[in-house]
Amino acid sequence: MSEKDQNKTSGSKKMQVNVMPVRSVGVRRKRMISAVLKNVLLAILSIIWLIPILWLLVSAFNKDPGINYAHFFPSKGWTFANFINLFKSNSAVMYLRWFFNTLVIAAFTCIISTIFVFMVSYAFACCRFEGRAGLMRLSMVINMFPGVLSMIAVYFIMKSIGLTESHIGMIVVYSAGSGLGYLIVKGYMDTIPASLREAAKLEGASEFDVFKEIIFPLCRPIAVYQIISSFLIPWGDFVFAKLMLGHDVKNFTIAIGLYGMLSKENLPRYFSQFCAGGILISIPISVLFVLMQKYYVEGVTSGSTKG
Amino acid sequence: MKKKKYRLYGKKKKVTFAQSLAKYFKDFGTAVSKGDKAVKLSLVLMGAGFFARKQLMKGIIISAVQLMYILLLIFWAIPNLADFGTLGTVELQMVFDPATGKNIVNDYDNSFMILISSITAILTLVVFILWYIHNIKEVYKLQLRAEQGKYINNFFDELQTYKGANFHRTLLTLPTLGIILMNILPLFVLVAVAFTNYDKDHMPPNALLSWVGFENFKTLFSSGGMSLTFGYAFGKIVSWTFVWAVVATFTCFIGGIALAVLINSQGVVLPKMWRTFFMVTIAVPQFVTLLLMRNFFRDDGIVNTLASNSGLLDFFKNIGLVKPNMSYIPFLSGGSVGWAKFMLILINIWVGVPYQMLIATGVLMNAPQDQIESARIDGASKWQIFWKIIVPYILVVQGPALITDFVRNINNFNVIYLLTQDLYITSDMKMANSSAKEVDLLVTWLFRLTNEDYNYKMASVVGIIVFIICIAFTLVSYSRLMKGNKEEDYQL
């Protein structure tokens, strides 16, 4: 209580009796107003955030295959055909094929890069060898070299070994350099007590045994994060796929396939199908994201100094 | 009370880079000068030192690798390196082949392949020299062990060390090879191309490349005339890239925290529901939402229709935000640079804030409750608690992520490219002459330079500059933010 209030209370008992209820009603009203305002604000923001998604959803059920310029909701009626047509391949749209292309690339990318990341993380977190700090610093600098910049050079290197326009090339592009993304997993390994490793080594375990039997099982939660996040890369990547996969529609991944559906000549015919395809692809991706979400925050903030 | 620390791996000595480099060569010198005959012989045949200590298998393997590399050097690396100075001299031509009676392609030099091969050759040579030096030291160590009468590993023991003391080598070999292929080699190729005349008039294999020195860098930093507008475009694009990176990073960061705090605050009903609403936008892949947005805000698109029907367009015309002769709001089409930049930032907020909200929610949950509690008991207001405890905490935890975000925004290809490609048309001839647009970031400009103009030389110069900016920024801020190495404090 402030000084003013104290003066009032000591001044007269009558005033105190009168003032207290009035104040609490005022506070309650203030709280009510602020709560209402907050909820209204959230509602407005939600509407802003959901309108484009709603447009995606209603356009996916639009009977008109092209883009609807005049009305938000379909004016020519609703249909489910856009989803069905996705599974009928033609020369421009091979959704199922794209899906499996991406799935295969993602599966291999995920396996290779998870293995690479764990190998590098263990070496940096648990092994002590000459030049370790220097290598870590060097890898941080190299990691600053954005993939988009190197893509021309990567393209020509891949071309010189004959891996452009092939899915093997895409897997190499996505996974070969993945060892650089070790920071999150290494940070997790750093939190595992070294005494566990020391004890195992006293019992005669080699580093390999420690890695296989102790550290890897303990890293399972972060492994989930690593597996899912590397699995998601090929689904969202646009640049490399566009550059590497050439013009053959049946080689496309989902991302460039859907992009192609919105080219000038395709837009009037395929916009509604694009929306349907976008929604379909969201389902598996969002399931994976929800699975990963628990570790997502930890992953993003793991670069900080803990404690 | 300060916790007593002890280090598992012994005390760390501060060694400067120069010192360790000096030690590296000194060790090599001692090994050569103090080594016996076998060690000296290893200078020629690398396995010799192992043969002398009866490590037959190891000696054979190492000598075989040495031999193979020398053959590689003679038959592949040296011929390529010989052309490195000129980048090839024989131009592609059609020549008459008397045997078949047809015109065939002559035995031409492909400058770009020479470039890539030479750089690969130089990289392998560097690796070989490092390995060579390491080998001599190793052989010398072996000599010392033999002199002291210590046990010398047989081949089986040696293999076992790759599961034990040398396990890091087993682990790091493959990832390192991958990184060399995907990151280091491209980096050097990029640097090399920046010093050549690789553009649409000089496209291997049809034409030869040649070295031009710092010519391309001069082109970038000077602006004169209509044909030489790179300097003009570069200045505009660099400043927009920085404005974009700063604004995009902070709007999303602050927006995410504000939204998380708002949803978590008192009086909000069904916080989970609100959170789910925003999460829905994460569920749809980014490229889908971006492609959707660009059609949402087309000049003849649905938003413009609604705007002109509702009178919003006229209102904007009245207050001067839209030119009176326009029949639409030029959201992303380049009719107005300001509108396009504004929309890009707005759409980026739309895309980025839900992610940041997710992170901020997690970070806020882990906020130091004991500190907040004691501050409350001491009579701090909510506002004070927020600014004095929660905000500093968020900054500490999310600081490094903020830097990563900033660098990612400098290179935010997807948002800019997917929203403006084929849609935004620049009206500035000087920009158009260097295939640039006002809304381009350095990376999208680089992509357009290569994909539309085949101007690889200038793209490489731009690439090098982006790289330098990113490195400088990261190194400075990381060293500020991460004082001291705490990685081992948690392993106890």
Tens of pLDDT, residues A163-178: 888 899 999 999 988 8
The CA distance from A15 to the nearest CA of chain B, in Å, is 25
Give mean pLDDT, residues B164-175: 87
pLDDT band of residue A3 (cuts 50, 70, 90) is: very low
The ipTM (two decimal places) reads 0.80
Q: How far apart are CA A274 and CA B177, in angstroms?
A: 39
Residue B368 contacts A, CB cutoff 8 Å: no
Alpha helices (H) along B366-482? 369-377, 382-385, 391-410, 413-420, 429-433, 442-451, 456-481
Q: Suggest the residue from A48, A144, A262 to mutate for an interface test with chain B (most B CBs closer than 10 A).
A: A144
Nearest to B186 among A41, A150, A279 (CB): A150
Q: Tell me the two tokens of residue A44.
A: 């407005």
Map out the domains of chain B as residue ranges. Answer: 17-193, 230-297+332-481
* Residue bearing tokens 């920046």: B194
Contacts for A167 with CB less than 8 Å, ≥ 6 apart: A101, A104, A105, A251
B 86-125 residues with CB < 8 A to A: 112-113, 116
pLDDT band of residue A13 (cuts 50, 70, 90) is: very low
Give mean pLDDT, residues A194-205: 86
Q: How far apart are CA A243 and CA B190, in angstroms?
A: 17
Who wins on pLDDT, B227 or A119?
A119
Q: Tell me the two tokens of residue B199.
A: 């553009």
Average pLDDT, chain B: 83
Provide, as residue numbers in chain B, all residues whose Cβ is less than 8 Å from the Cβ of A236: 285-287
Nearest to B186 among A123, A157, A175 (CB): A157
Question: Are the beta carbons of B112 and A172 separated by less than 8 Å?
Answer: no
Q: Is the pLDDT of residue B396 over 80?
A: no
The predicted structure's pLDDT at residue B69? 92
Q: Angle at CA B133, nearest 5°, toward B130 and B136? A: 150
The 10s digit of each residue's pLDDT in A221-261 is: 788 888 888 888 888 888 888 888 888 888 899 999 988 88
B 317-336 residues with CB < 8 A to A: none
Q: Is the pLDDT of residue B476 over 50?
A: yes
The 10s digit of each residue's pLDDT in B292-321 is: 888 888 888 888 888 888 888 888 888 877
pLDDT band of residue B67 (cuts 50, 70, 90) is: very high
Q: Suggest the residue from B156, B168, B299, B382 to mutate for an interface test with chain A (most A CBs closer than 10 A).
A: B168
Q: Angle at CA A189, nearest 5°, toward A186 and A191? A: 120
Question: Are the beta carbons of B182 and A304 separated by less than 8 Å?
Answer: no
Largest CA distance in chain B: 99
Provide, as residue numbers in chain A, all residues whose Cβ is less than 8 Å from the Cβ of B281: 49-50, 52-53
The predicted structure's pLDDT at residue A222? 83
Closest to A193 measured CA to CA, from A175, A167, A215: A215
Give mean pLDDT, residues B144-148: 88
Q: Tell me the two tokens of residue B460.
A: 């490489």
Q: Is the pLDDT of residue B99 over 80?
A: no
3-state secondary structure of B482: coil
Q: Tell me the two tokens of residue B279.
A: 């999460």
Total beta-carbon pairs less than 8 A apart between chain A and chain B = 299
Provide, as residue numbers in chain B, all residues whose Cβ is less than 8 Å from the Cβ of A206: 160, 163-164, 167
Contacts for B228 with CB less than 8 Å, ≥ 6 apart: B219, B222
Nearest to A157 among B185, B296, B482 (CB): B185
3-state secondary structure of A127: coil
Q: Is the pLDDT of residue A276 over 60?
A: yes
Delineate the domains of chain A, giving CATH numbers in brackets.
3-60 (no CATH), 87-301 (1.10.3720.10)
Give mean pLDDT, residues A94-112: 92
Q: Tell me the two tokens of residue B270.
A: 């069904």
Predicted TM-score (pTM) of the model is 0.81
> Cis before residue A284, ω within 30 degrees of 0?
no
Q: Suggest the residue from A300, A302, A306 to mutate for an interface test with chain B (most B CBs closer than 10 A).
A: A300
Nearest CA in chain B to A161: B113
The answer to whether the Cα torsion of B85, B466, B356, B332 is positive or negative is negative
Nearest to B163 among A132, A206, A279 (CB): A206
The CA distance from A14 to the nearest CA of chain B, in Å, is 28
Most confident of A250-259, B210-219, B261-270: A250-259
The predicted structure's pLDDT at residue A23? 57
What CATH homologous superfamily does B230-297+332-481 map to?
A: MetI-like (1.10.3720.10)
Alpha helices (H) along chain A? 3-11, 13-60, 81-86, 95-126, 132-143, 147-160, 167-175, 183-190, 194-202, 207-209, 216-218, 220-236, 239-244, 254-260, 267-301
Nearest to A144 among B172, B181, B407 (CB): B407
pLDDT band of residue A306 (cuts 50, 70, 90) is: very low
Q: Suggest the residue from B118, B170, B268, B291 to mutate for an interface test with chain A (most A CBs closer than 10 A).
A: B291
The predicted structure's pLDDT at residue B78? 86
Q: How far apart are CA B80 and CA B87, in angstroms?
A: 9
Residue A54 contacts B, CB cutoff 8 Å: no
Q: How far apart are CA A235 and CA B285, in angstroms?
A: 8
The predicted structure's pLDDT at residue A260? 87
pLDDT band of residue B6 (cuts 50, 70, 90) is: very low
Q: Which of A20-29, A60-69, B57-66 has the lowest mean pLDDT?
A: A20-29
φ, ψ of residue A12 to 5 degrees: the values are -150, 140
The 10s digit of each residue's pLDDT in B110-145 is: 888 888 889 999 999 999 999 999 899 888 988 888
How many other CB atoms are there within 10 angstroms of residue B32's CB atom? Answer: 16
The predicted structure's pLDDT at residue A118? 93
